[in-house]
Amino acid sequence: MGVGWSPRDQRTSRDRLPTMAISTGKKLRYSLLAIVLVVLAAEIFLGYVYFQIKAGSPTALQATYQTIKSRIGKQAAERIIDRFKDTREPTWRAFYADKGKALREQFERRYEEDFGRLVESCQEKGSTLVVLYLPSTDPESPDHCSESLCRAFFQRITDSQGVPLVDLTASIREYPWQDVTLLPEDSHYSRLGNRIVASGLAEAIVSLKDHRCQATYNGSPSRCADLEPGESRHWELLSELPFLVTTNGQGFRSGRDVEVPKRRQRVLLLGDSYTFGVHLPNAHTYADLLEQQQPHLEVLNAGVVGYTIVQEVELFQQRAGAVAADITVLQVLDNDVYGMFFFTRSWFDRKGRRYDATAAEKEFLEDLGLGELAEW
């Protein structure tokens, strides 16, 4: 008997059409949902990869915690520093007098340990280390009491490590203090002061003109310094002295990216606000002036306001050492030893760590009637 067809079969076929339509709609929705999920997963994965490259913490939660902790620590340190400013002159003079000898020696030991770490790190990278001492006190001021002590200290630790010391005290002192600084507004170096530094440093490192680091830098990692990369903006630390700061793609204070491949002898500058060139445009810093005077040099300015040996060692080990500098210059001055106070280290710490006052710090501050500054 043949297979027939009836109205009932027709109804059944028509009844099936909505079911088929619903199934097709679901498939479309499921397909769209799958696409959305894939895009979302890719976004999360790529965001995680970017985070791992940029962040110093393994998870976003940990990074957030560290950020909050850092901000709280910096706010606390800022409060202490603000209170400390009014007493800076007497504490500076006491620190470099007999009253501060025990604390100063403790700071010097800590500094020397960190300096030894930098020496070892430079040796591992094949970069020749040079220490650059800059005088930073008015010779007519009572604050000048620090200079002879600090010059002797830096001479001692460089001699012990076999590191050349470039002491530019005599060169700077040939000129009136008001001419080599930005006084009366600020005591940092003027363009003239920076030009003297550039000339003195160029003369001192000429004997190293043939030294080359055997390591290479191929552009990775992209971030090699602590300033925000790729910026050009005005800073106004003092309303009387606004200045333009330009950084390159690696985070150095420079208008040009690091050369890849390296074509000139590369000089890396580590230091504080004197190397950074506070209150001055890029072109007036001794980093830029050195490169202008010596075109065969590629000079990388990694200076950061407030840094001392603690931050400079970390910066070299974690970032700046990657650029394979032929010569690494560590700029130092009297404030580097004085700047080892717990609140200063907390304020400028690269990882947001907070340090407590040591027993020697507490005793020193208490003797000056400033014991309350030893507590957070």
Identify the pLDDT of residue 62: 46
Give the mean pLDDT of 54-62: 46
Identify the pLDDT of residue 53: 45
- The tens digit of pLDDT for each residue in 314-323 reads 999 999 999 9
DSSP summary character for residue 375 = -
- Cβ contacts of 184-191, under 8 Å, gap ≥ 24: 185/238, 185/240, 185/241, 185/279, 186/238, 186/241, 186/278, 186/279, 187/136, 187/138, 188/273, 188/274, 188/278, 188/279, 188/280, 189/134, 189/274, 189/286, 190/280, 191/280, 191/284
Q: Read off the tokens for 170.
A: 């005599």
Burial of 264 (0-12, 13-18, 19+ CB in 10 A): middle
Give the mean pLDDT of 293-298: 97
d(CA 340, CA 363): 15
Sign of CA dihedral 257, 259, 260, 265: negative
Query: Is the pLDDT at 68 greater than 70, yes or no?
Result: no
Q: Nearest-CA neighbor of 369 among 69, 136, 83?
A: 83
Give the mean pLDDT of 175-203: 97
Query: Is the pLDDT at 283 greater than 70, yes or no?
Result: yes
What's this model's pTM, rounded to 2 decimal places?
Answer: 0.81
Helices (DSSP H) in the chain: which residue ranges?
7-54, 60-85, 88-95, 101-125, 146-161, 169-172, 177-180, 191-204, 273-276, 286-293, 309-318, 335-338, 342-348, 359-367
pLDDT interval class at 372 (50, 70, 90)? confident
Identify the pLDDT of residue 75: 62
Least confidently predicted of 28-32, 68-72, 191-195, 216-220: 68-72
Q: Nearest-CA neighbor of 132 among 265, 313, 274, 295?
A: 274
pLDDT interval class at 18 (50, 70, 90)? low
Peptide bond into 135 cis (omega under 30): no
Query: Is the pLDDT at 57 greater than 70, yes or no?
Result: no
d(CA 110, CA 278): 27
pLDDT interval class at 339 (50, 70, 90)? very high
Residues 6+ apart with CB under 8 A from 195: 286, 289
By residue count, the chain amounts to 376
- The tens digit of pLDDT for each residue in 99-147 reads 999 999 999 999 999 999 999 999 999 999 999 999 999 999 999 999 9
| Furthest C-alpha separation in the chain | 125
Identify the pLDDT of residue 59: 47
Give the mean pLDDT of 84-96: 83
Query: Is the pLDDT at 186 greater than 50, yes or no?
Result: yes
- Tell me whether strands 327-332 and 265-270 are parallel, antiparallel or unpaired: parallel
Instruction: Note whether 247 and 254 are within 8 A (CB).
Output: yes
Sign of CA dihedral 275, 281, 284, 287: positive
Residues 6+ apart with CB under 8 A from 160: none
Instruction: Note whether 346 and 340 are within 8 A (CB).
Output: no
d(CA 195, CA 169): 14
Instruction: Note whether 57 and 66 are within 8 A (CB).
Output: yes
Identify the pLDDT of residue 40: 76
Query: Is the pLDDT at 209 greater than 80, yes or no?
Result: yes
| Integer angstrom CA distances of residue 140 from 78, 178, 187 | 30, 11, 13
- The tens digit of pLDDT for each residue in 301-311 reads 999 999 999 99
Instruction: Note whether 338 and 95 are within 8 A (CB).
Output: yes
- The tens digit of pLDDT for each residue in 242-256 reads 999 999 999 999 999
Residues 6+ apart with CB under 8 A from 191: 280, 284
Amino acid at 122: C
